[in-house]
Amino acid sequence: MTIPIYGKAHEARAGADFTWFVYGSSLDRAAFADWAQAHGYAVPDFALARAARLPGWRLCFDVVSKHWGGAVASLAEAPGAFVEGLAVPMAGAARGLVEHKEGAVSGLYTAVEVTVQPVDAGPAVPAVAFRAAPGRRLPSDGPPSPAYLEVLRKGAREAGLSAEWQARLEALGRPAA
């Protein structure tokens, strides 16, 4: 039996609508739906989500997750690099859900204002992304959790992210040839 968890995230007041830049395990719709059900949330509508790139940042694995059994993704500033994910328009009332899902409620991650570029062209979009909180980061990247990597890869395929990005994800955690 799963007991829904309620608290700060469920009690958060609605703010302005926003765009959530999703680049991690939340890309996997089935995993997201399981999490939402276990925590008493309705799954957000991803119908208007668009593949997007976050320029000037790289995917890093500098935060340890007990749930995933190893390092999971965060963001690190890196000129010339980029991270792909989904730009998901969200109603302001969903901010608590997003902060709970991203670990901001527990202080593991913090929100950062970013600008993403839709992959299929169009104007840049202001968005909110989440990165590991400074006090929770490892001194350097650790080996990614294999289970987390599989969810990340599956989510990238489901989201229709670029072949280039999917190839980068496939190369993660694999021995160099």
Cα–Cα dist 60/78, whole Å: 10
pLDDT at 146: 93
Closest CA to 151 of 18, 4, 35: 35
- The two three-digit tokens of residue 61, written as one number: 């694995």
Cα–Cα dist 155/24, whole Å: 8
pLDDT tens string for the chain (177 positions)? 333 344 444 444 457 899 999 999 999 988 889 988 898 998 888 889 999 999 999 999 999 988 889 999 999 999 999 999 999 999 999 999 999 999 898 888 999 999 999 998 889 999 999 999 998 999 999 899 999 999 999 999 999 999 999 999 999 976 555
pLDDT at 2: 36
Tell me the fold of 20-163. Answer: Hypothetical upf0131 protein ytfp (3.10.490)
Q: Are 53 and 119 in contact (CB under 8 A)?
A: yes
